[in-house]
Structure 1
Amino acid sequence: MARERATALLLDLDGVLRRFDPAVAAGVEREYGLADGVLSEIAMQWGRLQPVLTGQVSHADWMSSVADALAEPAGGPDRAQAAVQQWQRYRGEVDTEVLDFVREVRAAGVRVGLATNATDLLDADLTTLGLVGELDVVVNSSTLGVHKPAPEYFQAACQALATPPARVLFVDDEDWAVRGARSAGLSAHRWGGHADLRYLRAALTH
Structure 2
Amino acid sequence: MARERATALLVDFDGVVRRFDPAVAAGVEQRYGLAEGVLTEIAMQWGRLQPVLTGQVSHADWMTSVAEALAEPAGSPERARAAVEEWQTYRGEVDAEVLGFVREARAAGIRVGLATNATDRLDDDLAALDLTDAFDAVVSSYRLGVNKPAKEYFQAACQALATPPDRVLFTDDEDWSVRGARVAGLSAHRWTGPGDLRYLRAALAY
TM range, normalised to the smaller chain?
Answer: over 0.9
Q: In the alignment, is residue 165 of structure 1 matched against residue 149 of structure 2?
A: no
SS of match in other structure, 1:138: strand
RMSD, matched Cα = 0.6
Partner of residue 176, structure 1: 176
Structure 2 distance, partners of 1:194, 1:123, is 25
Partner of residue 42, structure 2: 42
Q: Deviations over 1:41-70 (max 9, x none)?
A: 000001000000000000000000000000
| Greater alpha carbon shift after TM alignment, 108-117 vs 193-202 | 193-202
> Percent identity of the aligned residues?
79
Partner of residue 11, structure 2: 11
SS of match in other structure, 1:177: helix
SS of match in other structure, 1:71: helix
* TM-superposed deviation, 1:146: 0.1
Partner of residue 123, structure 1: 123
> Residue 105 of structure 1 contacts residue 205 of structure 1 at CA under 8 Å; is this kept in 2?
no
SS of match in other structure, 1:113: strand
* TM-superposed deviation, 1:205: 3.8
Give structure 2 stretches of 5+ with no counterpart. none
SS of match in other structure, 2:204: helix
Structure 2 distance, partners of 1:195, 1:126, is 24
Partner of residue 153, structure 1: 153
Give structure 1 stretches of 5+ with no counterpart. none
SS of match in other structure, 1:35: coil
Structure 2 distance, partners of 1:50, 1:132, is 25
> Residue 108 of structure 1 contacts residue 205 of structure 1 at CA under 8 Å; is this kept in 2?
no
SS of match in other structure, 1:112: strand
* TM-superposed deviation, 1:153: 0.1
Partner of residue 202, structure 1: 202
Structure 2 distance, partners of 1:12, 1:78, is 35
> Residue 126 of structure 1 contacts residue 132 of structure 1 at CA under 8 Å; is this kept in 2?
yes
Aligned residues: 206
* TM-superposed deviation, 1:103: 0.3
